[in-house]
Amino acid sequence: MIQIILMAAGLSRRFGGNKLLTEYKGLPLYLHSLKALEQAARTRPDCHLTVVTRYDEIETRCRELDIQVIRNEHSHLGITTSLHLGIQAAPTADWYLCSVADQPELTTEVVEAFLEAALASGKGIACLSHKGSRGNPVLFSARYRQELLALTGDRGGRQVLMAHPEDCLFWEGPLLRDVDCPEDLAEK
């Protein structure tokens, strides 16, 4: 089973407000990633989607869509708190696909192609890359579960990925920009 974890609990400090609820192309920013991951999870019987958030609006929408949602009241301690909650929600998962909620160009097709390539690679970690630059989503085998749960702070799974480059597939995909500041929302 693949546990898909959408981390949507960030404080948006660089943005200056809650970027996840900011409208982009007619939808709240987080909803672009959520829809892509939800569709991928619905088309693959081996996937389960969990959203980790601190925001009432996101929690309500997930419940309306019958998506598992977990509250993260400690997101001020860093992204690893969301990662831990998502992993702990599926202790018997074989894989953990970690994604962030501020990538509006993420599509179901990219998620599906990434998963296919990652699972066929024989590697224990896969990272979407663009022109050699690492990004998200990232897929981890359950053999890295304890290392992921031992992480602290705001660096996410990158530490585990960097500790095991020999077991990592860097899958070349499209540029999936993260929205960090209001200027990043300019349509391209």
CATH 3.90.550.10 fits 2-178, yes or no: yes
The CB density around residue 182, as the number of other CB atoms within 10 Å, is 13
pTM of the predicted model, to two decimals?
A: 0.90
User: CB under 8 Å, gap of 24 or more: what pairs does 119-122 form?
Assistant: 119/95, 121/169
Give the integer Cα–Cα distance in Å for 15 and 157: 22
155: closest CA among 72, 80, 101, 103? 80
User: What is the per-residue pLDDT for 20?
Assistant: 87
Q: How confident is the model over 51-96, as pLDDT tens digits?
A: 999 999 999 999 999 999 999 998 877 788 999 999 999 989 999 9
Q: Phi, psi at residue 55, to the nearest 5°?
A: -105, 130
Give the integer Cα–Cα distance in Å for 153 and 168: 22
Tell me the pLDDT of the chain (188 aa) as tens digits.
999 999 998 765 555 567 788 888 889 989 999 999 999 999 999 999 999 999 999 999 999 999 999 999 988 777 889 999 999 999 899 999 999 998 988 999 999 999 999 999 999 999 999 888 888 999 999 999 999 999 987 777 889 999 999 999 999 987 776 656 556 566 54
Domain ranges of the chain: 2-178
